[in-house]
Amino acid sequence: MHAITIPEPGGPEALVWDEVPDPVPGEGEVLVEVVAGAVNRADILQRQGFYDPPPGASPYPGLECSGRIAAIGPGVSGWAVGDEVCALLAGGGYAQKVAVPAGQLLPVPQGVDLAQAAALPEVACTVWSNVFMVAHLRPGETLLVHGGSSGIGTMAIQLAKAVGAKVAVTAGTKEKLERCAELGADILINYREQDFVAEVKEAIGGAGADVILDNMGAKYLDRNIQALAVNGRLAIIGMQGGAKGELNIGALLSKRAAVSATSLRARPLGEKAAIVAAVREHVWPLLAAGHVRPVVDREVPMPEAAEAHRVVEESGHIGKVLLVAP
């Protein structure tokens, strides 16, 4: 088979479409013939040499894919060769085939194109685990999503609205904010021109956001605490604004607030399987009913992954950028 390899860390040109050995499904795994993968910022960090795959994972980038089951490994039940699936991966999605733990498989939702289903596993699992399983967003509460037009952001908007929450988003252009509004966002904040702390508080009567989903990390830490409501919950899922910040414990105590930080890739298989099962139970019916949809900016041939990485690094896209396998 062929896969995108990274012979040496570097810029997008470091991604090389090369012939590699076929993976073999082990105990509890299935082999998926990949139709499409999706680009995540973790892939960019891996390409740059800053985010190695967990031990035992595929060395190739790609944290999600869609395709058809080509073979079943020992100890797997409930799946059959030919099933159309999408999958949460620890790596290997930028390839024509990938071995996947059966607990990280999801059926392609009713009404969703097979290739576009590749845009779902990472964002659905990230949003559901952080916003609902950890931060416990409830109907009537307000969710603030930083990067509302990203893959994570577009999914967070839709899921929060589906459960009856109010949604505030930050984004850097009018076009991105308009797309967020189309998806259901109620409060639109251009972070280049507006102060999200002031805008959120003004929009909801000074109370602040009940839950904040943050991809920035250190840069936004203090202001996120300011923007929280009493009993608010800050869920940090990224470090685009740095890894080390100063936390005002006094402000946190005064609001009886909580801060959590999680990642998916290195979690034990059992934890990933539990998240995937929760997503199948709660999110997949919303997809089947048409209340939630994947948001795909463009599809790029997988051998041209370098171009897809350039698009994502420049943040000119809305939703996900897909890589379609030849």
Mean pLDDT of the chain: 97
CB 208 within 8 A of CB 143: no
User: Tokens at residue 129, please?
Assistant: 């685990």
- Residues 167-191: what's their mean pLDDT? 98
- Residues 115-138: what's their mean pLDDT? 98
Residue 152: predicted pLDDT: 98
- Residues 203-222: what's their mean pLDDT? 95
Confidence of residue 267 (pLDDT cuts 50, 70, 90): very high
Give residue-wise pLDDT tens across range 137-157: 999 999 999 999 999 999 999
Residue 313: predicted pLDDT: 96
User: Tokens at residue 75, please?
Assistant: 């100890």
Model confidence pTM above 0.95 = yes
Residue 140: predicted pLDDT: 98
Confidence of residue 217 (pLDDT cuts 50, 70, 90): very high
Give residue-wise pLDDT tens across range 46-82: 999 999 999 999 999 999 999 999 999 999 999 999 9
Report the alpha-carbon distance of residue 82 to residue 96 in Å, rounded.
15
Residue 312: predicted pLDDT: 97
CB 185 within 8 A of CB 169: yes
Report the alpha-carbon distance of residue 186 to residue 141 in Å, rounded.
12
Burial 224-244 (b: 16+ CB within 10 A, else e): bbbbbbeebbbbbbbbeeeee
- Residues 71-97: what's their mean pLDDT? 98
Confidence of residue 2 (pLDDT cuts 50, 70, 90): very high
Q: Which of 181, 219, 121 has the alpha carbon at shortest distance from 318?
A: 181
Confidence of residue 109 (pLDDT cuts 50, 70, 90): very high
Residue 55: predicted pLDDT: 93
Residue 251: predicted pLDDT: 92
For 98-161, give the secondary structure using H, E and C.
Answer: EEEEHHHEEECCCCCCCCHHHHCHHHHHHHHHHHHHHCCCCCCCEEEEECCCEHHHHHHHHHHH
Which residues contact residue 136 at a Cβ distance below 8 angstroms, ignoring those fewer than 6 apart? 211, 233
Burial 112-146 (b: 16+ CB within 10 A, else e): beebbbbbbbbbbbbbbbbbbbbbebeeebbbbbb
What domains can you pick out in the chain, each with its CATH number? Answer: 2-122+266-324 (3.90.180.10), 135-261 (3.40.50.720)
Give the Å distances, CA to CA, from 85 to 115, 201, 233, 315, 325: 10, 42, 33, 28, 15
Residue 141: predicted pLDDT: 98
Give residue-wise pLDDT tens across range 12-59: 999 999 999 999 999 999 999 999 999 999 999 999 999 999 999 999
